Amino acid sequence: MTKVNMPGLCPALFELLARHRLLQGLPIEAIEHLCRDALAQHAYPGQILFDEGDEARYCLLVDSGQVEILRYSQNGDERVFHVFDPGQLVAEAAMFMPHGRYPMCARARGPVHVYKLSRSSLQEACRRWPDLAMNMMAGLSSALYAQVNKVDWISASSAAERLANYLLNLQARQGENIQLPLNQRQLASHLGIRAETLSRLFTDWQARGYVSGKRSDWQVRDQAHLRRLASPAQRSF
């Protein structure tokens, strides 16, 4: 894809969008369209980028740092559903929800720089370039399928099996040295287990040599054992 210099367009945003899987194979005009009314925002650690129930006027494209999506329970406990890395879109599905509201909160995990892509621009781009709409539908369908599998897995698996699968997935993305994106209380909630159970698993696995580390930094030492535990979660498609 050849970049076209146009007054008023942010080159960094253009490059970031041009690399995104949703826009692969689309004409330059589609990227320029999304760039035109986009806004840049720097956020400090812990800053709320949008709140649950706010009017969904834009989705976020992460440029640097990490953005976490969460909800609060009635008793004030928070549950982090996902952590988004640079190059990923946050809340693009909310741009098409009929009620026009964000279903979750978005919060900066550390210093963050994002671009805010407007709802109206994204919807108009999908009307003008149907391949973009098809790419979005494919991505949202994959996310829905992954969520169905996750619900099925959590309802049928043990705490040890869930933790093993989670650590192996992190290792596949991050490499040998794993950094947990959630603290242990948030991770326990994410896995649907008690925080005390999670702590006991880490302590027991470290004593047995399955893993090593502390706090958020870990390494898998016995991958074969964790793979045996996580095997029911692996699907053929």
HEC states along the chain?
Answer: CCCCCCCCCCHHHHHHHHHCHHHCCCCHHHHHHHHHCCEEEEECCCCEEECCCCECCEEEEEEECCEEEEEECCCCCEEEEEEECCCCEECCHHHHCCCCECCCEEEECCCEEEEEEEHHHHHHHHHHCHHHHHHHHHHHHHHHHHHHHHHHHHHHCCHHHHHHHHHHHHHHHHCCEEECCCCHHHHHHHHCCCHHHHHHHHHHHHHHCCEEEECCEEEECCHHHHHHHHHHHCCCC
Name the pTM for this structure.
0.84
* C-alpha to C-alpha distance for 213 and 168, rounded to whole angstroms: 15
Contact 67, 110 (CB under 8 A): no
pLDDT value of residue 3: 44
Nearest CA-CA partner of 179 in 110, 113, 114? 110
| pLDDT score for 7 | 46
User: Can you list the pairs that 131-134 forms with residues at least 24 positions away whose Cβ atoms lie under 8 Å?
Assistant: 131/25, 131/26, 132/22, 132/23, 132/26, 132/30
Q: Domains in the chain, start-ordered, CATH in brackets?
A: 11-129 (2.60.120.10), 153-233 (1.10.10.10)
- Pairing mode, if any, of strands 89-90 and 39-43? unpaired
CA 13 to chain centre: 19
Which amino acid is it at 83?
V
From first to last of the 237 residues of the chain, give the pLDDT tens digit.
334 444 467 899 999 999 999 998 899 999 999 999 999 999 999 999 999 999 999 999 999 999 999 998 787 788 899 999 999 999 999 999 999 999 999 999 999 999 999 999 999 999 999 999 999 999 999 999 988 988 888 888 999 999 999 999 999 999 999 999 999 889 998 898 999 999 999 999 999 999 999 999 999 999 999 999 998 877 777
Give the model's pLDDT for residue 198: 96
Chain mean position to CA 170: 13
Gap between the Cα atoms of 61 and 88, Å rounded:
6
Predicted pLDDT of residue 4 = 44
What pLDDT shows up at residue 5?
47
168 contacts 220 by C-beta, under 8 angstroms = yes
Backbone angles phi, psi at 114, to 5 degrees: -130, 160
